[in-house]
Chains A and B, each alone.
Chain A
Amino acid sequence: MERRDRESANGFALCAVAAEFMALDGAGIVMISDDDDFTSLCTSNNAAGALMDLEIALGEGPAVDASRGGANEDTNLLGESGSNWETYRPEAVALGARAVFGFPVRLGAIRFGALSLFRSTPGPLNTEQDSDAYLMASVIGRAILATQAGGSHESLVGELDGSSLLDFRVHQASGMLAVQGSMSVKDALVVLRAHAFGVGCRLSELADRVVSGSTRLDPESRAWVDGVENGIDGE
């Protein structure tokens, strides 16, 4: 369970940093499974934990919405009349929240979950907080990916600094590997990241080799094979 502990420790730090960074009262990270199940990765304090538990138990709230559809356009305020979250609203207010926010943690079509933020005073996020929340959500996505790919703490730090996930070839390569290995694009990205860690090359370089066909996954064993595959021409 060492890995689980490490995930939680990284997650907790991220939540605590997120809450403090944005001068809010609490933050949490919810993970969504392929079957639409939600689990709490971490929360920054007890109040955030109670809100997260509530949201997961009810299956409604800002982080659930953000995880599912990337519906991140509105900062939904408690206390305003609204048709959404009828059960969640009064319960969240009872727990002391006055404003809650959800930001999707995703990478293209890959859904990791959402960053959930709350404040005990009402009102929307200011422009800077809003930008910061997107930045945090992006950092969290990279951290989750790196952790799932089994990276060391040092490589995680490198991941957070790097911009390799902005490289289009990485996403093209994930799509190709998903077909080669008959897996989801999410799993393919984790496999790609893990292999880059394993052989000690940059993610972009490995992705480049996958796209050009000089490295691929064996469809049966899912082992990495070097050499040009028939039928796919290098570009």
Chain B
Amino acid sequence: MERESLLIATLVELADNLVDDFDVIDVLTVLSLRCVEAVDVDAAGVMLASPDGELQFVASSSESMTVLELFQIQTNEGPCVDCFRDGLAITNHALSEADGRWPLFTPRALAQGFRAVHSLPMRLRGRTIGALNLFRTHQGTLSDDDVIVAQGLADVATIAILQHRSALDAGTLNAQLINALNSRVIIEQAKGMIRQSTGSDMDAAFNRLRAHARNHNEGLTDLAMRLVNKSIEANGLDEWTKPKVS
């Protein structure tokens, strides 16, 4: 698909999702997936800050352990941390062995095959609430257009966090952030249960959860909560089949 039509399709999809009682993790996952399609990157993900300023992973284009690990490290150091702290975008940062800027993050990212990283701030009325992280497996630079598109998607992600567009006081924002972060924990708990019950890997466990939620028009977090509370069995979830690469 042409990038322009892809972007339009993404915005329409997100707008559809944002109308009523949407699941914030699901929306941010869609956004990360579309980021990989629309911008010249290989993985994308969102980290949000808790009210006391700790960054935590909430959504990604890939649920593989190797990618999640790169977000986990960034609770301590990495491009997201710097981007969040300074409120400034980091673009086209080439990773290299000699780079001492992120001594924990860089070697792991290189080991996973990534060669360049970008991090774009999620800002709201002067407050940075998180960062959109982009990873590339090949060297080279993102074009200015790519950066603009990615920042646009980061802005959409910011809007998604707010959910209720009317009350925007600090207390409401804190509650939304805390709820989003807690949703992610519920999903991880559910993924563990699915993995143990079905023998799937974590990536497939997440996709199965998401597929069932979508098929039954249920919120991803709500479904994960029901699973943890044992009102639905992991084996009772709809099967997920890996889509063929077109």
Residue from B64, B171, B190, B192 in contact with A124 in the complex, judged by beta carbons closer than 8 Å: B171
Within 8 A of B (CB), among A46-97: 70, 72-75
- Interface range for B: 35 or more
Residues B196 and A176 in contact, CB atoms below 8 Å apart: yes
A134 at the interface (CB under 8 A from B): yes
Tell whether A107 pairs with B171 under 8 Å between CB atoms, given A135-B52, A175-B191, A178-B192: no
Residue from B175, B195, B197 in contact with A172 in the complex, judged by beta carbons closer than 8 Å: B195
A98 at the interface (CB under 8 A from B): no
Chain B residues contacting A24 (CB-CB under 8 Å) are: none
Residues A175 and B189 in contact, CB atoms below 8 Å apart: yes
Residue from B76, B171, B184, B225 in contact with A75 in the complex, judged by beta carbons closer than 8 Å: B171
Residues B170 and A127 in contact, CB atoms below 8 Å apart: yes
Please, what's the 1-or-0 string for B175-214, where 1 marks a CB less than 8 Å from any CB in chain A?
1001100101111111111111101011000000000000
For the complex, what is the distance from the CA of A109 to the CA of B166, rounded to whole Å? 28
- Interface residue SS majority, chain A: helix
Residues A168 and B188 in contact, CB atoms below 8 Å apart: yes
Tell whether A171 pairs with B192 under 8 Å between CB atoms, given A72-B175, A127-B170, A185-B228: yes
Q: Say how far A140's CB is from chain B's closest CB, in angstroms.
A: 14
Tell whether A233 pairs with B201 under 8 Å between CB atoms, given A134-B51, A135-B51: yes
A9 at the interface (CB under 8 A from B): no
A232 at the interface (CB under 8 A from B): yes
A211 at the interface (CB under 8 A from B): yes
Residue from B170, B186, B196 in contact with A232 in the complex, judged by beta carbons closer than 8 Å: B196
For the complex, what is the distance from the CA of A132 to the CA of B187, rounded to whole Å? 26
Within 8 A of A (CB), among B32-76: 50-52, 54, 56-57, 64-65, 68, 72, 75-76
Chain B residues contacting A125 (CB-CB under 8 Å) are: 171
Residues B185 and A171 in contact, CB atoms below 8 Å apart: yes
Chain B residues contacting A155 (CB-CB under 8 Å) are: none
For the complex, what is the distance from the CA of A70 to the CA of B72, rounded to whole Å? 25
Residues A166 and B75 in contact, CB atoms below 8 Å apart: yes
A174 at the interface (CB under 8 A from B): yes
Within 8 A of B (CB), among A122-169: 124-125, 127, 130-132, 134-135, 138, 163, 166-169
Residues A178 and B182 in contact, CB atoms below 8 Å apart: no
For the complex, what is the distance from the CA of A134 to the CA of B229, rounded to whole Å? 24
B174 at the interface (CB under 8 A from A): yes
Q: Say how far B205's CB is from chain A's closest CB, in angstroms.
A: 9
Please, which residue of chain B has its CB at the minimum distance from the CB of A126?
B170
For the complex, what is the distance from the CA of A178 to the CA of B195, rounded to whole Å? 11
A225 at the interface (CB under 8 A from B): no
Residues A108 and B196 in contact, CB atoms below 8 Å apart: no
Chain B residues contacting A73 (CB-CB under 8 Å) are: 171-172, 175
Q: Say how far A174's CB is from chain B's closest CB, in angstroms.
A: 6
Chain A residues contacting B75 (CB-CB under 8 Å) are: 163, 166
Residues A109 and B225 in contact, CB atoms below 8 Å apart: yes
Chain B residues contacting A166 (CB-CB under 8 Å) are: 54, 56, 75
For the complex, what is the distance from the CA of A127 to the CA of B54, rounded to whole Å? 17
Tell whether A106 pairs with B182 under 8 Å between CB atoms, given A175-B189, A175-B193: yes
For the complex, what is the distance from the CA of A132 to the CA of B202, rounded to whole Å? 34
Q: Say how far A130's CB is from chain B's closest CB, in angstroms.
A: 5
Residues A235 and B170 in contact, CB atoms below 8 Å apart: no
Residues B170 and A109 in contact, CB atoms below 8 Å apart: no
Q: Say how far A172's CB is from chain B's closest CB, in angstroms.
A: 4
For the complex, what is the distance from the CA of A132 to the CA of B50, rounded to whole Å? 11
For the complex, what is the distance from the CA of A210 to the CA of B13, rounded to whole Å? 37
A39 at the interface (CB under 8 A from B): no
Residues A171 and B188 in contact, CB atoms below 8 Å apart: yes
Residues B202 and A172 in contact, CB atoms below 8 Å apart: yes
Q: Say how far A144's CB is from chain B's closest CB, in angstroms.
A: 16
For the complex, what is the distance from the CA of A167 to the CA of B74, rounded to whole Å? 11
Q: Say how far A212's CB is from chain B's closest CB, in angstroms.
A: 9
Q: Say how far A185's CB is from chain B's closest CB, in angstroms.
A: 5
Instruction: Name 12 extra pairs, CB < 8 A, besides A73-B175, A166-B56.
Output: A108-B188, A130-B171, A135-B51, A173-B192, A175-B188, A175-B190, A178-B196, A178-B228, A185-B193, A232-B196, A233-B199, A235-B201
Pairs across A and B, CB under 8 Å, 22 listed: A72-B178, A108-B189, A109-B224, A109-B225, A109-B229, A130-B171, A131-B52, A131-B174, A163-B54, A166-B54, A166-B56, A166-B75, A168-B68, A172-B195, A172-B202, A175-B189, A175-B196, A176-B193, A179-B196, A180-B196, A211-B65, A232-B195
